[in-house]
Structure 1
Amino acid sequence: MSYQPPYTINPAIVNLVAAISETIGRYTVLAEQSLTPRLRRENRIRTIHASLAIENNTLTLEQVTAVIEGKQVLGHPREIQEVRNTFAAYEALEGWRAGSERDLLSAHELLMRGLVDEAGCYRSGGVGIFQGKQLVHMAPPANRVPELMADLLGWLAMTTEHPLIAGCVFHYEIEFIHPFADGNGRMGRLWQTLILRDWKPLLAYLPVETVIREHQESYYQALAAADEQADATPFIAFMLSELLAAIRQATATDQVTDQVTDQVTDQVTDQVTDQVTDQVTDQVTDQVAALIRGIGNGELSSSDLMQTLGLTHRPTFRENYLNPALAGDWIERTQPDSPRSPKQRYRLTAKGRDWLQRHADQ
């Protein structure tokens, strides 16, 4: 293996890989039990909507769902075609090998069919990436693309790097080389999903793109930082943090935990119930305790909660306060069927109210 993409495995990346590897076990157990075909399809639709929204597709999640279901949608024909193509590409994941150039080009042809002239082919001309009128990245000349992609795919096929890191590296390198006339961002995210799927098959249904969409500016900043350093390390760290957030979010969502709870409840006996009850303690993290007290007997939005807790960094709020409180059944959503509703509020569960009452004087 002659080609080695430039990146460094620093302590932050090692810690992120360890955290993901630890968290993925719980996600796998929950997903195997409760990711029904319907939920897998819903997660895939969310993935498609987010990936296309990053590329300025304006269709709503409801419209994307309708297009995939074959319904008529009032929208720009190109955007509708993008949805159909992207859904077909994600559905075809299982038949592709990450290190195969033939499969990579087939995926691009499927993804960009009817949208560009060079679908399924490397670009024939030069390309630059602009922010407004400013050139922020000039991709390598077109005549170098086949060689660069052969090196990259050869590295991917032979590397012993952890799939979490390999996926991030390949994603960044695709954005740097920009091998296609259009669709490079979509291809980078699609191929990273394929690499992750080869490691843990259920990750094919983890909507990482929805988290990236929420932090889209940071996504571009990480790409720019990697370009400036000529080193993929900043992008690897960013993508791993987004993947960790997506897994934690998935393991905390009501659509997973409620179904698992129902299944467990049907299976337990009174003896096991008593045993579990005896094991329930008041042990919560300081952050979750602060969140419980912050909500009190009210119903607060995430923004209101952050203000109450004096927090300004939303990822910290989610990872250390909100998601653990949801996962521990200390709080619940007021609209569990629409986790991302702008009208979403959070309130204490019976368990949370009981804890608050018993710790009212502390």
Structure 2
Amino acid sequence: MSRYAPPLTLTTGMLGLIADISEQIGQLSAVGESQQTPQLRRGNRIRTIQASLAIENNTLTVEQVTAVLAGQRVLGLPREIQEVRNAFAAYEAMSNWQPDSRTDLLTAHELLMHGLIDEAGQFRRAGVGIYRGDQLVHMAPPPSRVTHLIDDLLAWAGSCDWHPLIISCVFHYEFEFIHPFADGNGRMGRLWQTLILSRWRPVLAYLPVEAVIRDQQDAYYAALSTSDRLAEATPFVEFMLSSLNVALGEAIHSEPSTDQVTDQVTDQVARLLQALRGGGAFKVSELMGQLGLAHKATFRSNYLRPALACGLIEMTDPGSPRSPAQRYRLAPLGKQKLMRSG
């Protein structure tokens, strides 16, 4: 039993969020493994990777990340493309790791930061401060203490009898506080929280909570800073539980019902595929006109990106995702789905 005890005040807000999250996990799990198709899982994983890297200033879009993982040529910074490949490899290997293993933690970091830093898979050997702009917001513990602090944290995570939701959030905060690596600490903390949650409920391995964090990035950093000032994880735990709750709600409401098309795509994606049924390639404005849509952000979020993520449509010029001449057409998988659905 670990003697390490992270400071935390359990609040009524946390208890309410745990109850809400548990109820939503029950609803999501009721969909059943058979309906969580490989295409949907891959799409969620792509959203997870894109969002987690975007938090760290990676500029690649969901469409570009999808193209990179499909082996297509993408115009982008080599480092950002390498970050995508590394992150996908790390999340795919996640099921092989134990949340309380230092060896697995270092292996994960080596995968995540391969070719990006010299110290991939090694704890930092120098002091580090975290800055927001020109302001120092956190001075991490000295490198001489890192191994001991991480070992204590891992032992605590493996033996603590708190609710797994709380354990995962506290681990995430304490990991960022220790800042054990020279680089990659944010993406590692989010990856390891997902690992802890997936050991509790496997369906959470594919929950793109990172997308919610990206959309509330200022609040994410504010929660970390507030927890630092209070010397306890409480504000950050409340923020992360709230983010998990939102991500689950979005997953449930976007989850297709059993009487939908075979590949379990959403109604919006199914409509987009029908618009492309006749063949040919179309610009965004042309597709929006066919679908009677006026709001481009809604079209991209609910129609275009999910269809690309599932591999149902493709870009005519994947190397230039933002080209004004970009058009979209049915991919082979989309044609197969249309044939099966009549």
Query: TM-score under structure 1 normalisation?
Result: 0.73
Q: Which residues in structure 2 correspond to 1:298-313 (within 5 Å)?
A: none
In the TM superposition, what whole-angstrom CA distance separates every residue of 1:240-298 from its partner, at most 9, and x where no partner exists? 00000000000001xx22x423389xxxxxxxxxxxxxxxxxxxxxxxxxxxxxxxxx9
Report the secondary structure of 2:131's partner residue.
strand
- Relative distance call for 1:244 and 1:213 in structure 2 (3 A) is same
Q: Compute the displacement of 1:33 (Å).
A: 4.2
Q: State how far apart, in whole Å, the 2-side matches of 1:136 and 1:334 are.
A: 36
Match of 1:192 in 2: 193
Out of 251, 262, 267, which is 2:260 matched to? Answer: 262
Q: Is the 8 A contact 1:33 1:260 kept in 2?
A: no
Q: State how far apart, in whole Å, the 2-side matches of 1:128 and 1:46 are.
A: 29
Given residue 170 of structure 2, which amino acid in structure 1 is its aligned partner?
Answer: V
- Relative distance call for 1:335 and 1:163 in structure 2 (3 A) is closer
Match of 2:314 in 1: none
Which 5+ residue runs of structure 2 have no aligned equivalent? 263-291, 308-342
Question: Is 1:245 aligned to 2:246, yes or no?
Answer: yes
Report the secondary structure of 2:259's partner residue.
helix
Match of 1:221 in 2: 222
Q: Compute the displacement of 1:132 (Å).
A: 1.1
Q: State how far apart, in whole Å, the 1-side matches of 2:258 and 2:87 are.
A: 30
- Relative distance call for 1:40 and 1:262 in structure 2 (3 A) is same
Q: Compute the displacement of 1:70 (Å).
A: 1.1
Match of 1:110 in 2: 111
In the TM superposition, what whole-angstrom CA distance separates every residue of 1:105-139 from its partner, at most 9, and x where no partner exists? 00000000110111001000000001111111000
Q: Is the 8 A contact 2:5 2:156 kept in 1?
A: yes
Match of 2:31 in 1: 30
Q: State how far apart, in whole Å, the 2-side matches of 1:43 and 1:81 are.
A: 20
Match of 1:209 in 2: 210
In the TM superposition, what whole-angstrom CA distance separates every residue of 1:75-118 from its partner, at most 9, and x where no partner exists? 11100100000000000011000000000000000000110111
- Relative distance call for 1:124 and 1:46 in structure 2 (3 A) is same
Greater radius of gyration (CA): 1
Question: Is 1:142 aligned to 2:117, yes or no?
Answer: no
Q: Is the 8 A contact 1:165 1:236 kept in 2?
A: yes
Q: State how far apart, in whole Å, the 2-side matches of 1:117 and 1:177 are.
A: 20
In the TM superposition, what whole-angstrom CA distance separates every residue of 1:32-63 from its partner, at most 9, and x where no partner exists? 24210111011100100000000000111111
- Relative distance call for 1:165 and 1:302 in structure 2 (3 A) is farther
Greater RCO (CA < 8 Å, at least 6 residues apart): 2
- Relative distance call for 1:71 and 1:166 in structure 2 (3 A) is same
Given residue 17 of structure 1, which amino acid in structure 2 is its aligned partner?
Answer: I
Question: Is 1:337 aligned to 2:335, yes or no?
Answer: no
- Relative distance call for 1:336 and 1:114 in structure 2 (3 A) is closer
Q: State how far apart, in whole Å, the 1-side matches of 2:15 and 2:261 are.
A: 35
Q: Is the 8 A contact 2:293 2:299 kept in 1?
A: no
Q: CA RMSD in A?
A: 2.3
Q: State how far apart, in whole Å, the 1-side matches of 2:142 and 2:294 are.
A: 53
Which 5+ residue runs of structure 1 have no aligned equivalent? 265-297, 304-331, 342-362
Given residue 30 of structure 2, which amino acid in structure 1 is its aligned partner?
Answer: V
Given residue 79 of structure 1, which amino acid in structure 2 is its aligned partner?
Answer: E
Query: TM-score under structure 2 normalisation?
Result: 0.77
Match of 2:4 in 1: 3
Match of 1:93 in 2: 94
Q: State how far apart, in whole Å, the 1-side matches of 2:87 and 2:14 are.
A: 30
Q: Compute the displacement of 1:339 (Å).
A: 7.2
Q: Give the percent of matched residue pairs that are identical in Structure 1 and Structure 2.
A: 58
Q: Is the 8 A contact 2:220 2:239 kept in 1?
A: yes
Question: Is 1:81 aligned to 2:79, yes or no?
Answer: no
Given residue 145 of structure 1, which amino acid in structure 2 is its aligned partner?
Answer: V
Q: Is the 8 A contact 2:165 2:241 kept in 1?
A: yes
Q: State how far apart, in whole Å, the 1-side matches of 2:218 and 2:303 are.
A: 28
Q: State how far apart, in whole Å, the 2-side matches of 1:157 and 1:92 are.
A: 19
- Relative distance call for 1:333 and 1:24 in structure 2 (3 A) is farther
Q: State how far apart, in whole Å, the 2-side matches of 1:186 and 1:88 are.
A: 13
Q: Is the 8 A contact 2:43 2:306 kept in 1?
A: no
- Relative distance call for 1:146 and 1:334 in structure 2 (3 A) is closer
Q: Compute the displacement of 1:30 (Å).
A: 2.1
